[in-house]
Copies of this chain bind each other. A is one copy, B any other.
Amino acid sequence: MPDPSPSAARAGFPVSRQVLADHVYEALLEWLMDGRLEPGAAVSIDGMARELDVSPTPVREALARLEHTGMVRRVALKGYRVAPVFTREDFAELMEARLSIEPVNARLACSRMTDEGLGALKQAVEDLKTAPRGGTFAEYRSYLEADERFHQLIAAQANNQFLLAAYNTLGGQIQRFRLFGGVGITDAEQAIAEHQAVLDAMIKGDPEKAAAMMVDHVEKVRGRAMADAPAD
């Protein structure tokens, strides 16, 4: 596939070039996060290869990488499927896991916060406040993105590669649940206030308060979601 304008050429420094499998990975990840690939849907290797106009080999590699995120599941000789919709139990487990990890991240992040990190966090909360919150997905996509970014930033500021990796695994699931949990954005005002409370504690430099506010936030998210979607 002779690329007429290799990006390596214009930059001069390729630094970290990408291969096809990387592009495929990102495309699939985006489609999963977008909801373009619905839970339970088959993800055919050959089909995706045709869709993306590449050979099946890079698709296979990308899917192998995606499997660990829990967003697609593989059955030998049968192929990949998008992970099924969260059950009530799955959701409860996810929140339990968040409650074990995110407060720790918040405490550490508060202790180790950099100026850049704090700025980015403020920006994320600001984006949450200003993001449109319409009824269609396109309209609250940026809201979800800012929400995820806030938590991701805290995990990154905790400055621990293993905790960050652990959070990232959860993060993908959280995002997927936000999409398919059924409930729209009905709790934005409260959620924003809770995020603000975490941020305030960070600004004050009070790690314990930050952790406590994070516990509070996650517990309230759980409470609202469990109340909103009682059926299952």
Contact = CB atoms under 8 A, between A and B. Distances in A.
Contacts of A101: 100-101, 166
User: Size range of the interface on A?
Assistant: 35 or more
A173 interface: yes
A204 interface: no
Interface string A202-223: 0000000000000000000000
Interface string A158-169: 001111011001
Copies in the complex: 2
Contacts of A18: 76
Interface string A91-112: 0011011001100100010000
A34 to B, nearest CB: 22
Contact of A163 (B61, B75, B100, B163): B100
A22 B161 contact: no
A173 B169 contact: no
| Max count, chain B CB within 10 A of own CB: residue among A65, A68, A100 | A100
Contact of A170 (B108, B162, B173): B162
B70 A165 contact: yes
A54 interface: no
Contacts of A70: 165
Across the A-B interface, the 4 shortest Cβ-Cβ residue pairs: A97-B162, A64-B64, A68-B68, A100-B104
Interface of A: 16-19, 21-22, 57, 60-62, 64-65, 67-70, 75-77, 90, 93-94, 96-97, 100-101, 104, 108, 160-163, 165-166, 169-170, 173
